Structure 1
Amino acid sequence: MTLPAPLLLLADSRLPAGGHAHSGGLEPAAGTGAVTDLPSLAAFLHGRLATAGLVTAALSAAACALAAGTANGPASAGGGAGAGHEGWTVLDAEADARMPSPAGRRASRAQGRSLLRAVRGMSPHPVLDALGAFPAPHHPLVLGAAVAVAGGSPAEAASIGAYGAVTGPASAAVRLLGLDPLAVHRVLAELASQVDAVAAEAAASAGGDPEALPAASAPALDVLAELHLQADLRLFES
């Protein structure tokens, strides 16, 4: 099966949506000495994928289902091409509930705002206009809506969300720690089957009640996000 080019664009780190400014917690993890080399990077990415990555993938899949009008439960209200405020408000609240760290929520909304600006410029659509009514929608919601607008499925939205959960921090590790890019990509290749598994788990919940979406916690990432916000010197926003 050929993946549509618009979906490849959404998965491309070169999409001008501000992702290069966020490390996904890698910068504060490196600052505390938790990530210093390839083995510790692999452990960090594995943990992030199973927690924040799963949540991101599930929210992205649910947003895609809502935008396409295939969701069930409270968030389905107003779904489809004209997905309305109520459905997005419910899903936005569920995203908030899964991000205990204020710094983490701020980073997600900043990335969502940047991604929305980018995808509205590429493919204007009423669904994206509905999200534009929010001052700063969460990143996974914008990603899922953009996948739906591009003709993708919740499963594809989950895959892109899970993939981005590890590639962003991996790229940051190359810049922050001076790791060999080829070796870092080998780490990502070794995570590929886990990325697929997380995406499949996330997609399975896409059409149900948003309250039942995965809510895997990552206390260490939440603490790191808050420490990062207080740091005197930062190369990344998160």
Structure 2
Amino acid sequence: MCSTVAVVARYLFLYFFFPPNIYINKCGNIIDSVVVLSLFSQFILALLILQYEVDDECVESFMEQLKAKVKSEVDYSDFQILEEELGKDLKMVGRFNVPLRLEPIAKRIKDGFGDITSHSSQSDCAAKPTYLLFCAAIKEMDDLKLDQVNKTKLLLWRDAINNAFNLQFNVDFAIKHLFKIARAYFGFKVMEGKSGEEMLKLKNVDGNMEVPEDCLREAEYFSGKPLSTGLFR
């Protein structure tokens, strides 16, 4: 999308600052500037259509990134709550002592999904850092809304969840929820600042959306709500 904008800007600059009066095509025929402007307009329209297609591809590409089992370098320093609260008052939730501000979310995870570490072969000592990172990621989902996240944040949550998954924690529910948030993020970016009438213009002649419809649906679902909405049923 950024490259499309750059191309359009370049052609607009050339046209308005160096306006041609006549052009000669490769056959030697003279074409006046009105015709050239018409051709230019068609070119811009094609680029805008391509932009929607690229946006669709960007969604799929990012979803593949979320699915990737890449080596994670996520650390306590990536989560403000862990930096601020570790070493202070702790509360026991299940098998682990957690920072006081993480206690409510850790309890909700335990009440909703049981002991997510029960199938892990790791000792409590070895599993605790990963457990705390996972809880911190879910806590951020509970604190933030769509307009407060970006791709970097989503990938950070992916890493924290993947770490837990790699230690055989039962976190499938979190992976599925992260995908919902990611689709909502792209839907929000499309909807941002658009009126209802402008949203209708995103539909093509067949009534289908030029952007993934599930992204718009998820964006509407999370609108004005914490991103943990629907995670704890």
TM tier relative to shorter chain: under 0.3
TM-score w.r.t. the length of structure 1 is 0.26
Please tell me whether Structure 1 or Structure 2 has the larger radius of gyration of its CA atoms.
2
Higher RCO (CA-CA < 8 Å; seq separation 6+): 1
Which protein is richer in strand relative to its size? 2
Which protein is richer in helix relative to its size? 1
